[in-house]
Amino acid sequence: MSQLSLYQETVQSRFLLGTARYPSPASLEKAVKISDCDIVTVSLRRERLSFSNNSERPGQSFWSLIQKIGVKVLPNTAGCFSVQEAVTTAHMARELMGTSWIKLEVIGDEHSLHPDVFGLVEAARILTEDGFSVFPYTTTDLGVAERLLQVGCQVLMPWASPIGSGQGLSDVAALEAMRASFPNIPLIVDAGIGRPSQAAEAMEMGFDAVLLNTAVARSGNPIQMALAFSKAIESGHLAYQADCMEPYKGGMASSPIIGKACLG
């Protein structure tokens, strides 16, 4: 696959993998490695990361595992319901994890985990001014996307459907419109992907990468599922580059007529 540039950094893989809810540390490590992903997301609030020498502290073993795996970390503000909460969490993540990258989530509805787009734009503005490279979890609303770019975001992460739902691409037309409206902006489909075929479909539409967690972590075999998604994402991207054929109403013969017997 061709390389992907995100905030002036180049990565080889177009698969971003979450690190929550795996059945064991070993399954997480093996899933990340077999996926060949370059970036994993880590929730500061959920994992309660600690850098204390006291191994009893929550999150220490988790963070040690992530460091051992050796991939780039994209901290996220999962679980934040206000601008102040998200901004504070982002600053803590930068201090603890040593990166200015942040996946920004500002949740507006606890049931659907729908982004609070007003809070999202404001938090993105503040964090960009503070030197962060912001990866905003957003909807497919084109107006919101434009405002996120105006405040300094260089990447957009529209959802396919609600977080953890596995519904796949719930509004294909909206996703296609977003891709067409921002042809030069890296677009990463984030949330709602449940099957490798759905990830492949998003990549065939021209999206630059896919970020997911639950579909791998909560599957019957996270390691095998991580591999399946890795291959699907690569396949979808290759298909997009090859320029997929457009649907045709009716049948179209694939065999040439040269040399066909004339029975007239």
Binding-site residues sit at 164, 191-192, 213-214
Q: Tokens at residue 164, please?
A: 């953890």
Q: Can 33 be counted among the known catalytic residues?
A: no
Could you give the 3-state DSSP secondary structure of residue 65?
helix
Q: Position 31: which residue type? A: A
Structure tokens at 246: 């457009």
* Three-state DSSP string of 139-208: CCCHHHHHHHHHCCCCCEEECCCCCCCCCCCCCHHHHHHHHHHCCCCCEEEECCCCCHHHHHHHHHCCCC
CB 60 within 8 A of CB 52: yes
C-alpha angle 111/27/54, rounded to 5°?
Answer: 85
Identify the helix (H) or strand (E) that includes residue 78: none
Distance in angstroms (rounded) separating the CA atoms of residues 174 and 177? 5
Of 138, 59, 68, nearest to 103 by C-alpha is 138
What residue numbers does the annotated binding site for 1-deoxy-D-xylulose 5-phosphate cover? 164, 191-192, 213-214
> CB 66: neighbour CB atoms within 10 A?
20
Catalytic residue among 30, 68, 72, 103: 103
Contact 118, 141 (CB under 8 A): no
- The two tokens of residue 144 are 């919101």
Instruction: Count how many Cα atoms sit within 13 Å of the Cα of residue 230 in the half-sphere of its side chain.
Output: 18
Active site residues: 103
